[in-house]
Amino acid sequence: MDICVVALGKIGLPLAVQFASKGHRVVGADVNAAVVDLVNRGEEPFPGEAHLGEKLREVVAAGLLSATTNTADAVSRSETVVLVVPLFVDGEGTPDFGWMDDATAAVARGLRPGTLVSYETTLPVGTTRNRWAPMLEEGSGLRAGEDFSLVFSPERVLTGRVFADLRRYPKLVGGTDRASAERGIAFYEAVLDFDEREDLPRPNGVWDLGSAEAAELAKLAETTYRDVNIGLANQFARYAGSIGVDVDLVIDACNSQPYSHIHRPGIAVGGHCIPVYPRLYLWNDPEATVVRAAREANAAMPSYAVDLLAAAQGDLTGVPVLVLGAAYRGGVKETAFSGVFPLVEELRRRGATPYVSDPMYDVAELEALGLPAHRGEDVAAAVVQADHAEYRSLTPADLPGVEVLVDGRRVTDPAAWASRRRVVIGA
């Protein structure tokens, strides 16, 4: 097949490489000329994705993957178009479709009869049928379901392990009509491989959800569930801390029973997915009080962590505090909705002098993000914000002068910090 993948980001590029690794001819379209140039040279434009570097070099060298900034032209030469363009949400939870609208308009300009179009970006329910179908029809003069096929098939992978997740999780497909669904199913069966899993109610593979709306809701539901679960864990942790109980022991005990699946509490919920998709769900269903309460509970955790620091340290006015970790999670060089931003803001609000360090970012990169980079200044306290593997071996010798450590991820060794005040969430 000839395939076009629109947007060569941290999901789109591994997808393009996966499709090409199955022997298909793939063109990746992206508005960033620097990314396009790197891909055409077989060089990965971002670090941290397992096996991407070697797989990218192989498919580019084989002539199976190339990149371009001309989306319409790439679409005009393709049988299938897969869009993985970012969708943003503002502080009120309103989706910003700007980038996706632009990409859809470009796809429409190149769309030809017989093409399958698949949206993988997580969307509010109804978007594929009610927004993208009319835009594609207007821009191309073609009719969805008659002249071209249209499906929604959400990406369900985690940055850093995309190739493994593509094999492990069923690929969900929902068409805007029956024929479109069948085209979508056939496409994904041709470009993906699946691990055998005995724990699923039906064989692992491509699953037909029956409609685009069902597939859209499935992605919102599975990610919103995680936010709600973490919100509940955080509330358990805050109460456990108030009564001197270790919430980790409690959660371990609960999860020993097969009907309990409590997640772990933490200082922040970050990334492109879990903080965002519940707000997309609330945009569809504003009366979902449980979802709204969980989102508010999770958003309050950075401030709660500063409460714990103040309780252990005392007045924070003028106190230099080092925030360990700018990334939203360990091992990933990404700050989307990272807890570092509200944490720094709250420390400043309390009068502290915050600094930030991260093993994956240099000083210039941190400052470009608007963060106060640590340049070796003396600090009196530290807060672990990201669970980087490097912090597991952290000791007081690494942070001279630090008398209080708030470990918001429970990643440090309690024994190593026995001589200092180490505070965790939920104990």
Is 359 exposed, middle or buried (CB count within 10 Å of its CB: 0-12, 13-18, 19+)?
middle
Going from the C-alpha of 44 to that of each of 13, 24, 27, 150, the distances in angstroms are 9, 20, 15, 30
Model pLDDT for residues 41-52, shown as the tens digit of each residue: 999 999 889 999
Q: Which of 10, 55, 171, 219 is catalytic?
A: 219
The torsion angles phi and psi of 101, rounded to 5 degrees, stand at -60, -45
Model pLDDT for residues 120-162, shown as the tens digit of each residue: 999 999 999 999 999 999 999 999 999 999 999 999 999 889 9
- pLDDT the model gives residue 90: 81
Q: Within this chain, do residues 146 and 169 fall inside the same structural domain, yes or no?
A: yes
Residues in the chain: 427
Give the separation between CA 277 and CA 225, rounded to whole angstroms: 10
Half-sphere exposure of 305 (CA within 13 A, CB side): 37
Residue 194's pLDDT band (cuts 50, 70, 90):
very high
Q: CATH number for the domain including 106? A: 3.40.50.720
Number of domains, the chain: 2
Amino acid, res. 426: G
User: How many C-beta neighbours within 10 Å does residue 331 have?
Assistant: 15
Q: Within this chain, do residues 159 and 229 fall inside the same structural domain, yes or no?
A: no
> In the listed set 210, 245, 274, which residue is the last one of a domain according to the structure?
210
Q: Within this chain, do residues 28 and 80 fall inside the same structural domain, yes or no?
A: yes
User: Strand pairing partners for 5?
Assistant: 28, 82
Q: Within this chain, do residues 419 and 278 fall inside the same structural domain, yes or no?
A: yes
Q: What range defines the domain where residue 297 resides?
A: 222-427
Q: Taking all residues of the chain, what is their mean pLDDT, rounded to a whole number?
A: 96
The predicted model gives 57-80 an average pLDDT of: 98
Contact 34, 69 (CB under 8 A): no
Amino acid, res. 146: E
Q: For residue 426, is pLDDT > 90? A: yes
- pLDDT the model gives residue 89: 83
User: In this prediction, what percent of the chain has a pLDDT beyond 90?
Assistant: 95
Give the start-end residues of each E strand in 230-342: 320-324
Whole-angstrom Cα Rg for the chain: 23
- Whether 273 is a known active-site residue: answer yes
The torsion angles phi and psi of 422, rounded to 5 degrees, stand at -110, 125
> In the listed set 210, 233, 265, which residue is the last one of a domain according to the structure?
210
Q: Within this chain, do residues 130 and 255 fall inside the same structural domain, yes or no?
A: no
- pLDDT the model gives residue 142: 98
| H helix and E strand count, the chain | 16, 15
- pLDDT the model gives residue 91: 72
Q: Within this chain, do residues 206 and 229 fall inside the same structural domain, yes or no?
A: no
Within a domain: residue 170? Answer: yes
Contact 49, 10 (CB under 8 A): yes
Contact 194, 172 (CB under 8 A): no
- pLDDT the model gives residue 181: 98
> In the listed set 183, 210, 237, which residue is the last one of a domain according to the structure?
210
Contact 136, 107 (CB under 8 A): yes
Give the start-end residues of each E strand in 189-326: 206-208, 320-324
Is residue 284 within a helix (H) or strand (E), and if so which, with residue range? helix 277-284
The predicted model gives 353-357 an average pLDDT of: 98
Contact 151, 324 (CB under 8 A): no
Model pLDDT for residues 373-423, shown as the tens digit of each residue: 999 999 999 999 999 999 999 999 999 999 999 999 999 999 999 999 999
Instruction: Of 352, 392, 394, give the one whose Cα is nearest residue 372.
Output: 352
Q: For residue 272, is pLDDT > 90? A: no
- Write the DSSP symbol of residue 261: -
- Whether 254 is a known active-site residue: answer no
Place of tokens 């450590």: 405
Q: Which of 4, 171, 273, 333 is catalytic?
A: 273
- pLDDT the model gives residue 92: 74
